[in-house]
Structure 1
Amino acid sequence: MFFLFIGASDICKVPGLSAAGANPQVVPFTAPADADLVCWGRPRVVDVVPVDPQGHPTPALVTRAARLESGFPYLAVRSGSYLPPACPFLDLGALPGGDPQEGPAVPEARGIFEAARELGGNLASLPGPFVLGESVPGGTTTALLVLRALGRPGMVSSAGPENPVPAKEQVWERASSRGGISFGGLGSDPLEAVRQLGDPMQAAVAGFVAGLPRTCEVVLAGGTQMVAVAAVLRHLGEDRPLVVATTRYVDQDPSAHFREMARDLEVEAYAAPLDFSACPFPGLADYERGFVKEGVGAGGSVWYAQRLGVSPQRVCARTEELYRLMTQGA
């Protein structure tokens, strides 16, 4: 089953960090709109499809296309989003994450983890695999902060062709100084790393996985954001097999270290071979230029579709068809 964990972090309000949403007023709707789109093909919580500041569509279109082509089951899990989606969802009762530069980002991280662990245990009898995606504006920055606190080297990706590395480094300096946290200083307490620096999705997905029996197949559907979740699990002592599934756009991002970080954590890396190079729509063709890259479990949805016998080429073709219908107002 495919689960989409939707969350939020006030770090997305820092100028220059998050490309999710064309303006700050739209950001609270981004994650719930993604959840709606995967469920129904159109957002209902808001009447527009989420786009980045340059107008490129959300990767939820890819996840929706993969779901339509393969028929995998889907459920949204609200784990700290600003607003609920309109589609059916489970609610962990989490609050949005705060700005780690100003104070602990997820004060109830341990409570979220335990609630999600109970949920995972309750759903363990569902047929696998368990493919866990995310939608968290600003989530690559919180991923970097948690990875640094755990002592994991490397740079996270971004949702644009220019990774705002200096801005992310500045957030690390401010947040780590605020909390008196050094590189690797919280390696023995990963939930404290999430509490101080992370976002509620990280606690939720880590808890959900911890609640599943080791026999359950788990795919963390996301790029470097899910690498951070994998790091939390490893530092909690979880040595179970894990796959982190992303897109080739993250895997080939020269500014990031997805493959190296996955190898360091001893998790299997998968990169969905999406290809929109011949797409007639600039909004999707620009994925080839480094825009958007990943999100809403796009890479993991392709992994799931392939498991069910659907080629990435079919997913790309269906994504283009969905985008055509969207832009034509059908």
Structure 2
Amino acid sequence: MIMLVILGNTEISMIPGISVAGATPELTKLTPPADAEYLFYEKPRIIDAIPVTPEGHPTPAIITKASKELANFPVLIVRGGTYLAPLVPHVHISSSIGKDFRREKALPRCREIIEKAENFGKELNKLNLKEIVIGESTPGGTTTAQAVLWALGYKAKTSSASPSNPLHLKETTIIEGFNRVGIEIGDLKNNPLKALEEFGDPMMATVIGISRGFRGRILLAGGTQMLAVTALLNAFGENLERYTIITTKWVIKDKSSTFKKTAKELGIDYQYIHLDFSKSRFKGLRDYEKGYVKEGVGAGGAAWLALKIGFTEQDIERKVEELYEKLTRGS
């Protein structure tokens, strides 16, 4: 078993108020490589702090890191398309970020990303892996996900790392993009490549490519962003029986999104992890229970791997507390 974490950036995250995967819109450019580096070091190398929301809530990479340190499963970082490369060993697919789809095509090099990622997926077959877990770090990715879902005909609402999901801002942003292309909801249901090119992000293209190349079971570790990946795979003709989405209870409980409804429409199986930080000593973690952060960096999938190996939710929670205490002490 191996876990892949796909890094992606999209200019959509620079729209004020649309992403809280960073203390400021500008800092969302650094979130994916910083998340990746934190999995391997005490702190990221690219910036001297872990990514936080504007309110100071820690990246879900802290859950992924806790699970990784407990269970010692291998994590492979894949650069799908980011502003900067992470300062850890990684697989390079592309440095092409997603463009602002309100003004131009989001992924003009979409085919190239898919082709390179597919070749990488084929190489993974040689390791005789029966299944892989794929997580992601993509600020602004819930908006690109919702745009792709709408283009394919799913009237979905995606989650947010904030308890105040900016649904109106997402919708007006998507409508601007649809007006540029001259389409309405569902017009691209038979053209997934165009939906991805016009409205997607490099993480999606990378996961599509890897999934098409690798022939084993695939666990998509993420929330509503992985629903968009699933919708694209389905539209490309993939058999969804070998796919499962693994997420957290915070995504499932999010009443502002349509996760369960959309998953049912797609016919995709999902599981979720029951971590609970309500009794944490740290407000940054307790606030996860109030709807902050929810998912990301494959947190649900990493926890699932740790549980599969024999650890408990309480083991993971204690390890997260330990890691967070180190961060607050600056050590």
> TM over 0.5: same fold?
yes
Q: Which residue is equivalent to 2:96?
A: 95
Q: Which residue is equivalent to 2:281?
A: 280
Task: Map 1:1-330 to 2 at 5 A.
Answer: 1-126=2-127, 127-213=129-215, 216-240=216-240, 241-330=242-331
SS of equivalent residue, structure 2 residue 43: coil
Distance 2:136 2:88 in 1: 16
Distance 1:130 1:226 in 2: 15
Distance 1:289 1:261 in 2: 23
Distance 1:206 1:94 in 2: 17
> CA deviation digits over 1:232-279, x for unaligned, max 9?
001000014211111110110010111121122111111111100000
The aligned amino acid for 2:221 is A
In structure 2, relative to structure 1, the CA distance for the partners of 1:175 and 1:130 (3 Å cut) is: same
In structure 2, relative to structure 1, the CA distance for the partners of 1:151 and 1:254 (3 Å cut) is: same
SS of equivalent residue, structure 2 residue 226: helix
Query: Is the 8 Å Cα contact of residues 8 and 201 (structure 2) preserved in structure 1?
Result: yes
Query: Is the 8 Å Cα contact of residues 105 and 195 (structure 1) preserved in structure 2?
Result: yes
Alignment length (residue pairs): 328
Distance apart, 1:25 and its partner CA: 3.3
Distance 1:273 1:10 in 2: 33
Distance apart, 1:61 and its partner CA: 0.3
TM-score normalised per structure 2 = 0.97
SS of equivalent residue, structure 1 residue 116: helix
Distance 2:179 2:26 in 1: 30
Query: Is the 8 Å Cα contact of residues 248 and 273 (structure 1) preserved in structure 2?
Result: yes
The aligned amino acid for 2:201 is D
Distance 2:190 2:123 in 1: 28
Distance 1:262 1:128 in 2: 24
Query: Is the 8 Å Cα contact of residues 41 and 64 (structure 1) preserved in structure 2?
Result: no
* Seq. identity, %: 43
> CA deviation digits over 1:144-172, x for unaligned, max 9?
00000000122110010011000011011
Gaps of 5+ in 1: none
- Aligned CA-pair RMSD: 1.0
Distance 2:261 2:56 in 1: 31
Distance 2:93 2:172 in 1: 31
Distance 2:209 2:272 in 1: 25
Query: Is the 8 Å Cα contact of residues 155 and 185 (structure 2) preserved in structure 1?
Result: no
Distance 1:227 1:307 in 2: 23
The aligned amino acid for 1:91 is H
Distance apart, 1:9 and its partner CA: 0.3
In structure 2, relative to structure 1, the CA distance for the partners of 1:197 and 1:53 (3 Å cut) is: same
Distance 1:80 1:293 in 2: 23
The aligned amino acid for 1:229 is V
Query: Is the 8 Å Cα contact of residues 14 and 26 (structure 2) preserved in structure 1?
Result: no
Distance apart, 1:41 and its partner CA: 3.6
SS of equivalent residue, structure 2 residue 26: coil
Distance 1:100 1:315 in 2: 38
Distance 1:299 1:263 in 2: 19
Runs of 4+ in 1 over 3 A off after TM superposition: none
Gaps of 5+ in 2: none
In structure 2, relative to structure 1, the CA distance for the partners of 1:128 and 1:323 (3 Å cut) is: farther
> CA deviation digits over 1:22-55, x for unaligned, max 9?
1233221110000011122421121111100000
Distance 2:296 2:289 in 1: 15
Distance 1:242 1:267 in 2: 7
Distance 1:89 1:137 in 2: 19
TM-score normalised per structure 1 = 0.97
